Amino acid sequence: MESALLGEPDARQHANNLRLLAALPRGAGIERRERIVDYEIVELAALLREGNPQRLTAEQVLVEYWSRITRFNGPQETYGDNGKYNAFVRLEDFSTLLEQARLADQWLTTPDDQRGPAPPLCGIPFGIKDSFAIQGLESKNGTQAFSGNLALRDATCVARLRAQGALIIGHTICSELSTHTVGQFAGNAWDPIRTPGGSSQGSGVAPIARLCAAALGEETAGSIIIPAAANGASAIKPSLGLVSGAGVMPLRSGWDVVGPMARSIRDASLIVHNRRP
């Protein structure tokens, strides 16, 4: 079991998970929201656990986000205007995700699981930038020139999220070759005719448009902070080397960094999980 993005040793990570779980808000004290997709990750992490009066399941959370993707994302594999948000360019098979959500629910309801208590990100749906490897999916980095680039294994940061029980929904769209900071293909989360910022445009749009709870982006020169600012997302650009870039298509060595984009800074901080016990 590893830290959400940093990859800490098992014993240290176990202690860190216990500390973070203890810091989650009390389920009874969380304001009830009309839509599941409006809860922050820290709230979902509490509500997904037994003993809370508002208890949710990972399957419920997945279905609600998937329903919005179906309604508002538009056609996949469109590097251009698809008429809707176009935040996700490629999705995992829903039946696979549903099975993973049910496994997450089993972990969440088994306190004595041999892996320890389910981590805070267990059952949380994530989007991943199109330049990251997701096992079994093509990674095209915003261009059809990379068609057929099928990933045999996950990028390290994606694998670490999976180890936490997170649900990897699919690839969020990015600018061609991750080179445009204004964004080319997605619609802004607040108004689809406005610029979404780039290059990690889909990762900035998707959490705010309630298509996933959070997303990973990659920055060389503004590609995390610009789409976050354009869409009103909370993001963290980590220090160089803090989060592994293995399995991410490089743009400029010594500049590229991987970071989270979410709806609140406490969510983004939880994802990076960079404070060691």
Q: What is the pTM of this model?
A: 0.92
129 is catalytic: yes
Q: CA 277 to CA 260: how far, in whole Å? A: 21
From 139, 200, 223, 234, active-site residue:
223
By DSSP bridging, strand 257-262 and strand 234-235 are antiparallel
Pick the closest to residue 248 from 219, 205, 226, 211 (CA basis). Answer: 219
10-272 is classed in which CATH architecture? Alpha-Beta Complex (3.90)
Span 112-131, average pLDDT = 95
28 exposed, middle or buried (CB, 10 Å; 0-12, 13-18, 19+)?
Answer: exposed
How do residues 268-277 score in pLDDT, each as one tens digit? 999 997 443 2
The percentage of the chain sitting over the pLDDT mark of 70, rounded to a whole number, equals: 95
Q: Is 199 a catalytic residue?
A: yes
Q: Per the residue annotation, which of 129, 140, 178, 203 is the catalytic one?
A: 129
Residue 1 confidence (pLDDT)? 45
Q: What is the DSSP string of 195-228?
A: ---SSSHHHHHHHHTTSSSEEEEEESSSTTHHHH
Please report, for the chain, the start and end positions of each structural domain, with discontinuous segments joined by +.
10-272
Is 3 one of the catalytic residues? no
Report the half-sphere exposure of 68 (CA within 13 A, side-chain side): 23
pLDDT digits (tens, 9 = 90+) for 164-204: 999 999 999 999 999 888 877 999 999 999 999 989 999 99
